[in-house]
Structure formats: structure tokens, C-alpha cells
Structure 1
Amino acid sequence: MSVELYRELAWLPKPPPDFSPRCQELAKDAADLGKRTRLLANHALNEQQLSRLGRAIQSARRGGVSLAPLIPFRLGLIGNGTLDLIVPVLVATAARHGFALECITAAYDQFLQEALQPDSTLNKARPDAVLLAIDHRGFSLQPCPGNERAASASIDAALELLASIRAGIARNSGALCIVQTLAAPPEGLFGSFDRALSGTTRNLVDRINPRICESVLQSTDMLLDVAGIAETVGLADWHSPAEWNLAKLPFADAYVPLYAEHVARLIGALRGKSRRCLVLDLDNTVWGGVIGDDGLEGIQIAQGDATGEAFLSVQQLALGLRARGVVLAVSSKNTDAVARRPFKDHPDMLLKEDHIAVFQANWDDKATNIRAIAKELALGLDSLVFLDDNPVERGLIRRELPEVAVPELDSDPASYARTLAAAGYFEAINFSDEDRSRADMYQANARRLTLQGQTTDLRSYLRSLEMRIVFESFDRTTRARVTQLINKSNQFNLTTRRYTESQVEQLEQDPNAMTLHVRLFDRFGDNGIICVVICRLSRPDTWTIDTWLMSCRVLGRCVEQAVLAELLLRARAANVSTLEGVYLPTERNEMVREHYARLGFTRTEEGADGSSRWELSTDFELGDLPMTVEREKSSLEPV
């Protein structure tokens, strides 16, 4: 597929013909502005359209209009190019991903001063993250062909400058940094030999990028692979000498939408908005043809056949996503036994039944089936991506379930896998062993629900799971996973407070904080870390529960009660007589509004915004729980 896929964001539906009037309406009607803005942003808009939409959003914010349910996010921008022109595009693109973005920009080419001065505009704004939009020109990489000593010194100086900027931002604002790799210029002096010869610009960039990546991996910052983006669309197209000379634009303005899309994906991943489940149609999506009409021998998935290999590419991508933790499901208008037959009997099928967590093959409409898939997996609809070759089905899901991501596909199946990958729904900012096993965890949970449906005695069912719950304080080995849960859990989350990895590390050392992460095992396997709790000593005899979040996939299994029992035990050991619970409402956490009431707390305060405070004496006793408990031995020592 050509570069237009990326430049035109072709996985998104085309803009509506009335885009301009709808943009104008945003300024006239504030009702549901956030939702209407996001729906409008969720199209393949060009740079001019995104700029127009972004300016409308900025105008609404200045006018005090609510952008709910868009989530506020403050992004600092510093770099060596002109960044102000990019801001409206970033604002509109962020709305596509569910964020009300506010950008704080620095003066042109003042990135070092902004980072190092504690009272700079950037640092005083206390952004959530800072984008270091610095390209190869900002690091003054001096070509020195054939001079290895000078080349090494130039690379070291560039990396030291970058480290100083990142350290200054962390120290003065506490923000995470989004660190870019460098896109090499296409011009060379030695042709193919440029890459091999020490000290050429290409050689310098090639050597500095791996070290940038390594430094990010060893930190809590995030990586924006501008080098990868530029190489995907072509370095000659990415760099525009005319636009740099005229306006100091760091790359061609045609690619501003693509750049903004990648930035917004990272913000989404930071806030837990990356998708977790791929729902597959079958006929003419996973294989060519219609299994009910063409039969097992008639569908196209064979090696050596161009059409068949196109569909195998979809299966290969699906398996690759599953290997990194994405859950796979099926939604197909088909008779169940007929739909399953290729998975069981076709010799060229790469996908097998064991790879699919939920298999919905029936004659119900796909919106109904996708709702059922989300429910069975205990995932929100905004965690799902639906891949279907049929434009009618895609349109139905976009209309009925706008939270579900639905990539646009053209008529050529050879483009399906690339389009799905290019859409970036599964953006990651880190990767752990638990991420790798997530698909198996959700699949095992679906089997648990099947077992539950076969028994009418809930207590017997829970005991049949042979659950073992493990309580441990935060530590170095689980710090990244705990931080990930804190920043992506939205539904079962009493306060939705967010903490960086460095702040989590500080909590581990805080004598006035009690930290807890919870892992659950059962006869189907390891559910991983499914709960995080942070308590703070707010009064000499009181712990206030600052954070209590839990994975929805373990609801109904008495985990909440087990966690409370552990909190009470630890509180008594610390001579704490009262637990105080806090509920701060968001659009996503209505399900836990009465969480503390269900556990026996007494309401002590209720705010006009729906917030509430609760108290419970640590003398409170819970009954027997259907699980065994393990904990670190030191956890009950008096403090």
C-alpha cells in the first residue's frame, strides 16, 4: 500500500461533507461539546481541518465551556523548530483519543532554558508530560567523516544535552518526557557508504538513536519513534527543506496529522486508553470467501495464492498481537459449528480455537454480539477494536457503539493487516511479562464465567476455583506494573489519582504510607496483579485510602472483601483505629459509587459533585472468605 495510508490517516472514515458547518456549530452550541468534538475528530482530517477544529476547541476552553467527557491533559512542547503551528492539530487529534489537551509552548529554540529554569513558563505550568520535539539540527551533530574520536564526542555531547533537559524537567516540573528519536536527513556525501563511515550525519544519527532508546527504557519517560515514522513514509518526503528554510517547520506540514496522531497515542497509552481486544469478523476478513457457501475447500487461505496469503497476513498479525497480550475474539454472522470448522480442520489456518477468548457466531446483529464479548471479558467497549471487511457492518458499529474502534478497510485484502497495524490501536509505553500473558488471563477468565454458569451455588463455585490471594507491598520488581495499573484503571477506581513511576517509588519509602498490590491465582492460572491500594496516615489514628483500584475481571469473587480484611489486619498492626474511604466520581467509575457502603463503611460526608467520604472502625470483622491468603512476613509488624 502506498504512503497515502499514513499521510491521509486512511484507517479513519472520510470526513463528513458538512464538516465545516459542524465546526462552526461547535462555537454556537455548547451542549455535549466534548462528545460532538470527539465524533468530529474521529475522521481522516487533513492538516487544515484539524487546525480549524483545534482552534474551535481552544476557543471553547477560553470561553469556559466544559469539554467533558474529554479528559484534561497538559502537554508542554519544547524544541528547535516552530511548534506553535502544530498546537491546534495536536489539540484536535487529542480529542479523537478522548483528551481535552492544553499545550504549553516555549519560545522558539529556547528548549534548554525552559527545561533548566525553575520559574520558566513550562515548569511553572506543571504539565503532565513534555514533548521534546528536538530533531538532528537541535543537537548540533557536526559531521566529521572518518574521524571516530570526533564522532564519539559529538554523540556524547548530544546525549548529555538531552539528559540535562530531561533531568531539568523532572526536577523543576515533575513531568514525564516524551523523547524523540532522530530522523536522518536523506542527503548524503558518500552514497551508500554514508551509513558505514564514522562521523557522517547518517552514521551519527544511526548511532545516537539506539542510545536514546536505551536511556528511555531505563527511565519512566516515553519514546516517540520519529525516526521510524519518517522511514515509514520516506525520509525525502518527511523532510521539507523549503518549509524549514521558510518557517523552521521541523518536517513537512503534510505529515503534521500523522505526527500528532502518534503523540496522542502515547498520551492515550499513558492514561490506559490503549485497546486490549481485537474482535474479528470471519468471512472475507480472516479468510477469503464465505464458509457457509463455499465450504472448507472453497475458502482462500492457502500459501502460494495471492489472495489466500493476504488473509494469512491478517491471521499472522492477530497472532502477533495475541503474543503481546491482546485478547482475540470472534463476531461472525454464521452458524456456530460452521464458523468453527476452519479453525479445527483447515490445514492452512494459523488461528486456532484456543487462540480465541470469546467466539460469537450466530445470526444476531454484531452490535449485540460485541456487547456480549465485552461483558464476557469484563472489558469496556472502549477497549475493543472491530475488524470487518463489510462497510455496512462497520457503519453499524460506529453508529451503535462509538466507543469501539473500527478501522476503515479498502477493497483489497492485501491492505487489511497493514491498515490495522498502521492504526496504532494497541500503542504501548512499556512491556512486561504480565502484559505478555494478558490474553491468556482474559481467556481463562472467560472459562471461569462458563463454569459459573453451570452452577447455581455461588459459594461452591468460588471454592471450586481454588483461589489463592497474595498481598505484598510495592517493590522494585512490580513498580512498573503497579504504575501501569494506576494510570490505566478507570472503572473500578475510587479516586482515579495518577502517579508516575518515580512517585510510586517515593511511596515505597514513605513511612506514612501503606502500599499494597494484590495478585490472584486459581485453578485456571495466574490472574496477575489485579488490585492496588495506597493508604496515607492522615491523622495519628486514621488511614485514608488514597487509591483503591481493581481489575473488573475479578469482580464477584470476594476479592474486595479479602482486600478489606487485609487492610484491617495491617491497620490494627500499625495501631490505626479508623479507615477512611474516599470516592471521587468520574464518568467511568459510577460502578463503585456504593463500594464502601457495600463493605460496611458509614458515610460521613457527601459533596455536591457526588463525592463522598466514609469511615470504618478497624475492629470490624469479616466472615470466612473462599480463598487462601499469602503475604510477606514483615507486613504485620507494628510501625
Structure 2
Amino acid sequence: MDSLFWLPKHTDLGAAISDARREPDPATRLALAARLAGFQRDFTLTGRLDRLAVEGLAGLAAGQAQPGPGFTPLRVAILASHTVDHLLPAIRVAGLQRRLALSTWLAPYGMYRQALLGDNAELAAFAPQVVMLALDARDAPLQLPLHASESEVAEAVEARVDELRLLWRQARERHAAQVVQQTLVPADPPVFGSFEGLVPAAPQAVIERLNTGIRAAARRDGVLLLDLAWQAAQGGHGQGIADPVRWHQAKQLVSPTFAPLYGDLLARIAAGVAGLSRKCLVLDLDNTLWGGVIGDDGLDGIRLGQGNPTGEAYLAFQRYAGLLAQRGIILAVCSKNDAAVAEAGFAHPEMALRRADIAAFVANWDDKAGNLRRIAAMLDIGLDSLVFVDDNPAERDIVRRELPEVAVPELPEDVSGYPACLAAAGYFEAVSFTTDDATRGRSYALNAERKAALGDSTDIAGYLRGLDMTLAAAPVGKAELPRVTQLINKTNQFNLTTRRYTEAEVALLADDPDAVALALRLSDKFGDNGLISVLLARPDAGLPPDELLIDTWLMSCRVLGRQVEEAVLGVLAAAAVRRGKKALVGQYRATPRNGMVAGHYQRLGFMARPAPQGAEPGSTFWQYALTSNPPLTHFIKVTET
């Protein structure tokens, strides 16, 4: 069970699973399985959890049941050159832990090329949203003699990578799926010892070169990696992953012992694709960011910085948190402390983090569960976006019990293990990295300044004029695709339909001349808010040809109340008129999270209309006449590319 060491231990997980099996309702058993998946588990217990959830998952996949609150269905096709049947339960259970209802389809053993290059009706009917290529180093090895030259090795590696790129392209074009490529784990021990890396055709040197080529091609082609090679390197040569006995007996590259972690590695990528990665790291202070209690020990008495092993370990953890902030993770503080005393700690000369790095700072003597709710509200994000790090086991247990949506890693005793624990847990798995990501933390801090300015204003109109806002609208292009897809898959509250799309699916719609795909950015006197809204509108078979269906309209909650909705509608209306359209049709699909936009279309002047022919049930539809509705007023300058 050590492979999932960041999860808490259950007193008796086996007995809890047995109790849950007595529950007659499949949906309730599914919910219980999701909760129990949050504890450490081995291969056997993982299989039992999968059996507990299987009926509920099947109901979701068949459309016989609606996803419960927080469950996101996702279809994953796995095409492998090694045996992976024993890994499917671990993948599904790890998905449940992340509120993913994963449906899996497995190609016949070794038939990954045929599945993608031929007309596979079964795969087409499954309609995968994610295609995983799980290949091993023994599959179609490069036939190179040990004395092969550098150029011969390079040519063979390039040919193999080009073949993979063809398969990736087929997966995208045929299924509009996000492709995930598994890197190659060395199959055999070194032949030359430490000299291996200096011989171009040595087995491990070739595998390393192949993985380098795969990573470079994946970066160019928008393919994600399950980097099993890095996992193997962290534990020595295949330690914990490959078992030679299992390989020769059943062609299992991944041993059953490693299965729970393998499932977690794939599920965290799937969660990232579905927009379910966490985005805020909430930190305790005393004995978490520094050693000691600042209220008792004073600024000079806390342990932090060079010259002391403990102080250096706390400094290393701060630096790791700072790197997370640089890649776009929001930092917050939740501390039982006097606010002024807590903030004074950031004046310590050895602090790697500064007060300006913290987007939400809550220090008082209230319970931490309540304060975490406050932080989520301050940042306009859900509790399921938070990861809470606290050295106190009692506080961790309380938060897990009171706020099961919040991720709370089980930290090691020594702070020197905190960065590795946080990294291993995979809460912040990335599927893209953009300039907007790098500036996200600062944008949340600036939003707090905007709220303060609102409090100082005497009227809302004066406040909005004073913001000096500019909305920049541009068609979704290749540069915007990763961030646009990211927003589509993670925005829940201001999202009229909550449809989830892969990058390939967004690209297809963006390339359609009859559709409108817009990426919208907002800036004001405080700074750039970044990409704050995505709009996808398209013709629909159930509508007249002169009407355009608003398929997706989402917006960041950070910009609510600033008339951005009116400005965005103006941009969309102009784009529709240029395409000869006479009306826009808005769809609202209610979910447990998007109730805040139930009256969105009505407020903007849309009129209720009957559902188009063939429309999915449970939605309301609204019509906006482009010829008779007057322009909406707002205080935003609009620029269009």
C-alpha cells in the first residue's frame, strides 16, 4: 500500500467494503466506493472497490442513471502492446477518487495499430474521449546491432516516432480524442554498465533516445504523456513497476503490486483532461511553512533558512510551493493565529514566499473547515479545487470529515518529505502550460484589489467606468487551443451547458467557417485578467439555417458583475450577423453547480422558445433576435481580431 502513501489509512478498509456491498442501491454503492477509494489500498482491495462500483458505473455509461453530484463521466480507450486487463480496476477506482466515472474500452492484446488504422466499429461506437497508447520496449524493437552508428540509431528512432505520430493523428482525426502516450520502460538491464549511455545502440541508450523523441513529438502534437519511464527511474531499474516473472508468464509489464499507482497515474491525467485537477494550495503556517509557533517563539525564534537542517527543509518546501505558484497554482493561507502575527512571519529574511504570493490569507481562531469555505468563496472557486496542507494530524482528520471535497494529503513526519509527498499525490496534474497559467495567482490577488475598489465606490456605474476595461475578442486559434480547452473542461459555475470537449473537438469546431469560436480576454487599470470567457456557437440540425445555437458559453467568476456578459453577447451577435444569421438560440442545461446562470439568457433579453427538434431533454432554450434587439449598454471597450 506504500505506493499511495499520501492517502490516509483506513482502520479496516476490507470490512468497510463488505458493509458497503450490503447497500441495495447501485448509485449509493458507487458513492461509497468513491469515498473509500480515498484511502490507501493494495491490488486486492482495489479490485473489491471496483466490483462495488461496477454496477453504478455501468448505469452511467449506458445513460440509465445520471451522474451524482461531482461525478464526471469520461470514456477512455486503452490500446496496449502488453497485458493490461489487471490494471483496469485500478484505473476506474483511481478515477472514482477524483470524482471521475470512467468507462474503459480495451483493444485486443497487441492490436493497437489495427484498432486505429482499420475501421474498428466497436471503438467507433465507444466514441473515446481519451485514447491511451500503452506500449512497451519489447514491442517492435529497433533491430540495431550494438556497433550501429549514431546516425543509424537516429534514423531508426525517427522512423519509430513517425509511426507513433501517425497513430496519434488517426486517434485525433477519427475520434477527436485526447491522446495519451506511455513512455517506454527499459526491458533489459544494461549491457555496458555505466558506459551504456556512451554507446549509441546500447539497449538502454536506444530506449532513452526513443523516449526523448516521443516527448519532443508529443509536445509538438498536443499529446499527453504517462511518463512511466520517469516513474521507473525514480525507483531504480523498473523497481516496483516491472516483474520479469509476470512478463514471461502473462506479458504483464506492470506488476499487480504497482497497479494501484499505475491507475492513479492515468486517472490524474484523465482528471486533468476533464478539468478536475486541483488549482489552489492552502497552507498552514506554524510547523508547516516554518518550524515553531510564531506567536510564542517570535519572528527570530522560528526555524527557517540556511544553517539549520530543519530550517533548510522548511525553506525547500516553500521553494516548491513557489514553483507551483509559478506554474499557476493559487496559494492561500489558513492558520489558527492572530492575523497580524501570522502576516509578520512573511517579513522573515529567509522566507522564500512573500505575502504578495498569497492570494487569500485567512488567520484567526475559527475552525479550519469554516475558514476553507471562506477561502473558496474569496477566490470564487469550489471546495473541490483546494488542497490543504497541515502538519497537524487532528486538523487533517477534521477537514477530511467536514469537507470531503477538499484534498488533504497524509504528510510524512518530517517536513523534508513534504515536497515529494505533494508531488507524488498528483493533485495538480497539468495537461497544458500557458502564459495565462503562469500569471493566474497574481490575477487572483489583483481581483482582491478590485473588490476593495468596489467597496470604496459610491455607485456601481462610477466603479465600472473607473475600471477602464477592455475586452479583446479573437477567434480560437492554435495558440489559444490548450487554454480554451482547459477552461471548457474545468469551468462549472458560469457555464451554460457544461459540455466537455477535447482539444481536437474544439479545433474541429474552430475550423468550421459556419461556426463561431471565440476566446475573450479582459484587462483593466489593475492589470490583465487573462482569458476569461469562451464562446462556441454553431448551426444545429434542429434549427432553421438562419439561427445559430450557443453550444458553449462560459466565463470566469472573477469578472462577474462587470457587464462582461453584455459585451460578450455584443461580440457574438456581430459575428452571427456577419454569417447571415437572424437569431441566436441559447441553451441552458442545469447541473448541480451552474444554478447561478439559470436566469442568464432571460436577463440579457432572450425570450423563451420551444426546444429544437431532437434536443436533449432537461434543457431550456432561449432566442435572441439579432434584427430587433437594441445594442446592450456597458462600460467596456471592445477590440476584435
Once residues 298 and 565 of structure 2 are traced to their aligned partners in structure 1, the CA distance between those partners, rounded to angstroms, is: 49
Show the counterpart of 2:287.
284
Once residues 236 and 434 of structure 1 are traced to their aligned partners in structure 2, the CA distance between those partners, rounded to angstroms, is: 37
Amino acid at match of 2:17: R
Alignment partner of 1:601 out of 606, 618, 624: 606
Once residues 383 and 134 of structure 1 are traced to their aligned partners in structure 2, the CA distance between those partners, rounded to angstroms, is: 33
Show the counterpart of 2:264.
261
The question of whether the paired residues in 2 share the 8 Å contact of 1:327 and 1:357 is answered with yes
Shift in Å, 1:416: 1.4
1:478-497 equivalences under 5 Å are 478-497=480-499
Q: Does 1:249 align with 2:252?
A: yes
**Matched positions, count:** 626
The question of whether the paired residues in 2 share the 8 Å contact of 1:54 and 1:92 is answered with yes
CA deviation map 1:554-609 (0-9, x unaligned): 11111111112222333344442221110112232222222112222122247996
Once residues 573 and 156 of structure 1 are traced to their aligned partners in structure 2, the CA distance between those partners, rounded to angstroms, is: 46
1:382-461 equivalences under 5 Å are 382-461=384-463
Shift in Å, 1:16: 4.1
Once residues 551 and 362 of structure 2 are traced to their aligned partners in structure 1, the CA distance between those partners, rounded to angstroms, is: 40
Alignment partner of 1:20 out of 15, 19, 26: 15
Alignment partner of 2:625 out of 585, 607, 617: 617
Show the counterpart of 1:139.
140
Show the counterpart of 1:89.
90
Once residues 422 and 452 of structure 1 are traced to their aligned partners in structure 2, the CA distance between those partners, rounded to angstroms, is: 41
Once residues 478 and 86 of structure 1 are traced to their aligned partners in structure 2, the CA distance between those partners, rounded to angstroms, is: 35
The question of whether the paired residues in 2 share the 8 Å contact of 1:34 and 1:67 is answered with no
The question of whether the paired residues in 1 share the 8 Å contact of 2:8 and 2:39 is answered with yes
Once residues 572 and 175 of structure 1 are traced to their aligned partners in structure 2, the CA distance between those partners, rounded to angstroms, is: 32
Q: 1:13 to 1:21 in 2, by over 3 A?
A: closer
Moved more, 465-474 or 332-341: 465-474
Q: Does 1:209 align with 2:219?
A: no
CA deviation map 1:590-630 (0-9, x unaligned): 22222112222122247996420111222212453122222
Alignment partner of 1:233 out of 235, 249, 263: 235
Once residues 262 and 298 of structure 1 are traced to their aligned partners in structure 2, the CA distance between those partners, rounded to angstroms, is: 41
CA deviation map 1:110-167 (0-9, x unaligned): 2222222112533442211111110111132345212125533442342233233323
CA deviation map 1:468-502 (0-9, x unaligned): 11122222332332222222222211112233333
The question of whether the paired residues in 1 share the 8 Å contact of 2:17 and 2:49 is answered with no
TM-score (norm 1): 0.94
Moved more, 267-276 or 497-506: 497-506
Show the counterpart of 2:5.
10
CA deviation map 1:76-121 (0-9, x unaligned): 1111211111111111111011111111112222222222211253
Show the counterpart of 2:551.
546
Q: 1:494 to 1:482 in 2, by over 3 A?
A: same
Show the counterpart of 1:321.
324
Shift in Å, 1:432: 0.9
Q: 1:52 to 1:408 in 2, by over 3 A?
A: same
Secondary structure of the 2:473 match is strand
Show the counterpart of 1:558.
563
Once residues 22 and 531 of structure 2 are traced to their aligned partners in structure 1, the CA distance between those partners, rounded to angstroms, is: 45
Shift in Å, 1:225: 0.8
Amino acid at match of 1:629: V
Once residues 21 and 343 of structure 1 are traced to their aligned partners in structure 2, the CA distance between those partners, rounded to angstroms, is: 44
Amino acid at match of 1:379: I
The question of whether the paired residues in 1 share the 8 Å contact of 2:131 and 2:178 is answered with yes
Show the counterpart of 2:572.
567
The question of whether the paired residues in 1 share the 8 Å contact of 2:295 and 2:337 is answered with yes
**Stretches of structure 2 lacking an aligned partner (at least 5 in a row):** none
Once residues 233 and 456 of structure 1 are traced to their aligned partners in structure 2, the CA distance between those partners, rounded to angstroms, is: 61
Moved more, 605-614 or 315-324: 605-614
The question of whether the paired residues in 2 share the 8 Å contact of 1:106 and 1:114 is answered with yes
Moved more, 433-442 or 17-26: 17-26
Show the counterpart of 2:300.
297
Amino acid at match of 1:88: P
The question of whether the paired residues in 2 share the 8 Å contact of 1:115 and 1:123 is answered with no
Q: Percent identity?
A: 41
CA deviation map 1:364-420 (0-9, x unaligned): 111121111111111111111111001111112111211111111132121112111
Moved more, 449-458 or 234-243: 449-458
Show the counterpart of 1:338.
341
Once residues 557 and 231 of structure 2 are traced to their aligned partners in structure 1, the CA distance between those partners, rounded to angstroms, is: 35
Once residues 153 and 356 of structure 1 are traced to their aligned partners in structure 2, the CA distance between those partners, rounded to angstroms, is: 49
Amino acid at match of 1:89: A
Once residues 260 and 43 of structure 1 are traced to their aligned partners in structure 2, the CA distance between those partners, rounded to angstroms, is: 14
Secondary structure of the 2:609 match is strand
Q: Does 1:626 align with 2:635?
A: yes
Q: 1:13 to 1:466 in 2, by over 3 A?
A: same
Once residues 487 and 570 of structure 1 are traced to their aligned partners in structure 2, the CA distance between those partners, rounded to angstroms, is: 24
CA deviation map 1:29-72 (0-9, x unaligned): 32544432221111111111111111222233446565523211
Once residues 458 and 19 of structure 1 are traced to their aligned partners in structure 2, the CA distance between those partners, rounded to angstroms, is: 58
Secondary structure of the 1:453 match is helix
Amino acid at match of 1:129: V
Moved more, 26-35 or 441-450: 26-35
The question of whether the paired residues in 2 share the 8 Å contact of 1:325 and 1:435 is answered with yes
Show the counterpart of 2:34.
38
1:63-142 equivalences under 5 Å are 68-69=68-69, 70-142=71-143
Once residues 170 and 579 of structure 2 are traced to their aligned partners in structure 1, the CA distance between those partners, rounded to angstroms, is: 38
Once residues 134 and 19 of structure 2 are traced to their aligned partners in structure 1, the CA distance between those partners, rounded to angstroms, is: 31
Alignment partner of 1:189 out of 188, 191, 196: 191
CA deviation map 1:222-268 (0-9, x unaligned): 11111111111222413211111112111222111111111011111
Q: 1:50 to 1:551 in 2, by over 3 A?
A: same
Moved more, 347-356 or 613-622: 613-622
Q: 1:190 to 1:407 in 2, by over 3 A?
A: same
Secondary structure of the 1:235 match is coil
Shift in Å, 1:433: 0.9
Moved more, 27-36 or 183-192: 27-36
Q: 1:152 to 1:476 in 2, by over 3 A?
A: closer
Amino acid at match of 1:615: Q
Shift in Å, 1:446: 1.7
Once residues 631 and 181 of structure 2 are traced to their aligned partners in structure 1, the CA distance between those partners, rounded to angstroms, is: 49
Secondary structure of the 2:494 match is coil
The question of whether the paired residues in 1 share the 8 Å contact of 2:13 and 2:36 is answered with no
Moved more, 553-562 or 155-164: 155-164
Show the counterpart of 1:582.
587
CA deviation map 1:165-213 (0-9, x unaligned): 3233334333222101112246111111111101111110111111101
Moved more, 604-613 or 403-412: 604-613
CA RMSD, aligned part only?
2.1
Hey, which bits of structure 1, 4+ residues long, moved more than 6 A? none
Shift in Å, 1:304: 1.7
Once residues 616 and 431 of structure 2 are traced to their aligned partners in structure 1, the CA distance between those partners, rounded to angstroms, is: 37
Q: Does 1:152 align with 2:154?
A: yes
